[in-house]
Amino acid sequence: MPGWISRLTLNQKLAGAALLLGAAALFASPYPGSKVTLDAKELSLIVASEADHVEAPELAAWIIEGRGDYRLVDLRTPAEFDRYHIPTAQNIPMSVLTDAGLGRQETLVLYSEGGIHSAQAWMLLRAQGYTAVYMLKGGLDEWNDQVVFPVIADNPTPEQRARDERLRSIAVFFGGQPRSAAATAGAAAASVAAPAAMPAAPKVVAPPSASGAAKPAAKKKKEGC
């Protein structure tokens, strides 16, 4: 070790090390660039195992429980969003999705009218390194069919009755009502007509995190010092 280094105090050596590391950092960007690698194998496994989506009744339960650890994203246009949206949803149209400042750590649940746009958005976000992205299976169509206007049996068995009661209370919670199986059997049009008669979105208090910053409220950050 050269003499001049051993003559330095420990603090001076540490400062020198910091300067060296700082200078080297000029060439060491910690952020990955804009080019991404898509792990096709991983994604195809996720899709195959159906771990990429949330079913409508599951989402309904989350909303009723008031869970605040995910962000529900409506990918449709603002006009469509204004006409009806799932309570607690936030409108981020497909066209501005990648500029919306979504956190890569956030749990995102995407939905669109059917399933196509949300599936495309899912792939887009996964490719950009968003790790916890899910889509609402079947989109708004299935949401309407299974949650807002669920089909219940006409002559329910006792087991069916309990299930139907639960479906009814969930439907009412979301401002809809159950349909009888007989009425829907003949008229496939019922589900087509449903959006025209969409209920006014019920007043569900959005969890604070859904509208606010990029983080569930449960995880408060503490400042230093």
Partner 1 sequence: MAMMAPLLKYGVFGDEASLVVAFLIGIGFGFFLERAGFGSARKLVSQFYLNDLAVFKVMFTAIVTAMLGVTYLGWLGWLDLSLVYLVPTYLMPQVVGGLILGVGFVVGGYCPGTSVAATATGRVDGLIYVLGIFAGMFAFAELYPLLKGFYLSGSGEAMTLPGTFGLPYGVVVFAVVLMAVGGFYGAGLLEKKFAAAGE
Give the residues lining the site for partner 1 (CB under 8 A).
11, 15, 18-19, 21-23, 25-32, 101, 103-105, 129, 131, 212-215, 218-219, 221, 223-225
Indicate the residue type of 220: K
Q: In which region does residue 117 sit, left (phi positive, over 0), alpha (psi from -120 to 50) or beta (all else)?
A: alpha
Q: How far is the CB of 74 from partner 1 (least distance, A)?
A: 21
Query: Closest separation between CB of residue 106 and partner 1, Å?
Result: 10
CB of 7 to partner 1, least distance (A): 17
Closer CB to partner 1, residue 21 or residue 127? 21
CB of 133 to partner 1, least distance (A): 14
Residue located via tokens 């001076």? 12
Q: Which one, 22 or 186, has the nearer CB to partner 1?
A: 22
Look at residues 130, 76, 86, 91 and name the one whose alpha carbon lies nearest to residue 108: 130
Please name the amino acid found at residue 148: V
For 220, list phi and psi in degrees, rounded to 5.
-70, 145
Nearer Cβ to partner 1 (34/157): 34
Residue 66 gets the label, from left (phi > 0), alpha (psi -120 to 50) or beta, of: left
Nearer to partner 1, 203 or 221 (CB): 221
17 close to 11: Cβ distance less than 8 angstroms = no
Q: For residues 7 and 221, which CB has a smaller minimum distance to partner 1 in the complex?
A: 221
CA dihedral 180, 186, 191, 196 (to 10 degrees): -100
d(CA 94, CA 119): 11
- Shortest distance in whole angstroms from residue 75 CB to partner 1: 22
